Amino acid sequence: MEKWLEHVEPLTFKGQIAVPYTWWAGETGSLFLMGLRDKETIMGCRCNSCGTVYVPPRRTCAQCFTDTGEWVQLGNKGTVQSYTIVRFSHPLQPVEAPFAYAMIQLDGADVSLVHLIKKDLDKLEKGVRVRACFKEKSERKGHILDIDGFEII
């Protein structure tokens, strides 16, 4: 029955799904994002039970299943734990390839923050020190990309 289909162009239909979601950042996320926007500071939070310092901060510690407790101001510098230089381009990406994603352990944090590195890609390796570069104040809007990227020190 299928054979005839080989001799014609089969029919297709374009989907029309484009759902405009709007996510609240929540109390914890808002304080973190406003810290980026207003003060160029990166805030984490410490679990009162196990002491783990998380960034991005979150209200609960999954390991302890408790509320996290206090806010901690982290350094704007950190150490690269892993990285990849992305060579392909896609509309999802906030910058033109090539660029890098890196897992960065900020000074004072126990977990890594995933972010962008845009230059000196040939100098990337595990353990290199990097610094957060913030966008100009007028361009910051309380967004993870208020940090324009990290640069190798």
**Which spans of this chain sit near other proteins (rule: CB under 8 A)?**
2, 5, 10, 15, 17, 21, 23, 25, 29, 33, 54-56, 62, 81-88, 90, 92-94, 101, 103, 111-116, 126, 143-145
Report in angstroms how near the CB of residue 39 gets to other proteins at its nearest: 18
Say which entry of Zn ion, other proteins, none residue 18 contacts (CB below 5 to 8 A, set by partner kind). none
Which of other proteins, Zn ion, none sits in contact with 8, Cβ below 5 to 8 A by type?
none
Contact 43, 32 (CB under 8 A): yes
* Minimal distance, residue 70 CB to other proteins, in Å: 19
Q: For residues 45-74, which are near Zn ion according to CB under 5 A?
A: 47, 49-50, 61, 63-64
Q: How far apart are CA 147 and CA 153, in angstroms?
A: 16
Please, what is the minimum distance in Å from the beta carbon of residue 73 to other proteins?
18
97/94 Cα distance (integer angstroms): 9
Contact residues toward Zn ion (CB under 5 A) are 47, 49-50, 61, 63-64
